[in-house]
Amino acid sequence: MNSEAIRKAYLDFFESKGHTVVESASLVPDNDPTLLFTNSGMVQFKDAFAMLENRGYTRAVSCQRCIRAGGKHNDLDNVGYTARHHTFFEMLGNFSFGDYFKSEAIAFAWEFLTEVLKIPRDKLWVTIHDSDDEAHAIWVNEIGFPADRMTRMGDKDNFWTMGDTGPCGPCSEIFYDHGEAIPGGPPGSEDDDLDRFVEIWNLVFTQYDRSADGTLTPLPSPCVDTGMGLERLAAVMQSEHNNYDTDLFQPVIVKA
């Protein structure tokens, strides 16, 4: 499946689930002076997540053009050293502003990967936050995901924050196993930063407000913010472990 078909399949799938398709925002944010470049799909929706803006819809889906070349999300130091990092990439994302939450977000992700894209279930691994028993129960009891391919991780890997204070919450990440021929270990192992097991989708469950003293207060309307790299997903769907061998890069490389 080529990258254009993947992008369209993602947007069409979530539109069928009641999401409004939103165009990619500018690479230079026009509503966020804290950022030089748009670095994720949720940037254009910050006010919607904070319940400061009513967009007329509570579910959105987009394919956002992103640059990560500094700041909190800096991939620049990894570019050229891994097969999966880029300064510029496209982020597929679906979002809920006080609408659905963990159960639906996890079910949507699983359905898209395994039923729409037909990715073999035994090639997928999952991480959840140490404290997130709810996500664990959903994965095991509702999805039927094997607990022995799910790893609990700490704040560094599986807890998202907007800043030192404000909205935050646990994450559940979905990984693809490229196979034994590629070096690397499963999530949580000593060599999980190599290229065999690659994170393809991050599901962020924004359910708390963090105060200055670190207290976490449940939000009255929890939200969902997800992100999946189109380049990584294209590698999976084109049976490549190196993003640069996909149709997103090869036409340019061949002509260079």
Residue 89 backbone phi and psi in degrees, to 5: -155, 170
The yes-or-no verdict on residue 178 having pLDDT over 80 is yes
Domains of the chain (ranges; CATH) run 3-255 (3.30.930.10)
Q: Which residue has the tokens 């270990």?
A: 185
pTM of the model: 0.94
Looking at the DSSP bridge assignments, the partners of residue 128 are 152, 172
Encode pLDDT of 195-214 as tens digits: 999 999 999 999 999 999 98
Cα distance between residue 230 and residue 172, in whole Å: 18
Identify the band that residue 117 occupies on the pLDDT scale cut at 50, 70 and 90: very high
pLDDT, average across residues 44-61: 91
Identify the band that residue 74 occupies on the pLDDT scale cut at 50, 70 and 90: low
pLDDT, average across residues 82-93: 89
pLDDT, average across residues 184-192: 93
Number of alpha carbons in the 13 Å side-chain half-sphere of residue 121: 9
The yes-or-no verdict on residue 126 having pLDDT over 70 is yes
Six-digit token string for 39: 């670095």
The yes-or-no verdict on residue 71 having pLDDT over 70 is no
Share the mean pLDDT of the chain.
93
Which pLDDT value is given to residue 144?
98
- CA distance to 13, 117, 205, 232, 240, per residue, from 1 (Å): 16, 9, 30, 13, 12
Which pLDDT value is given to residue 57?
97
Identify the band that residue 72 occupies on the pLDDT scale cut at 50, 70 and 90: low
116 near 92, Cβ under 8 Å? Answer: no
pLDDT, average across residues 80-96: 88
Six-digit token string for 148: 């022995």
The yes-or-no verdict on residue 80 having pLDDT over 90 is no
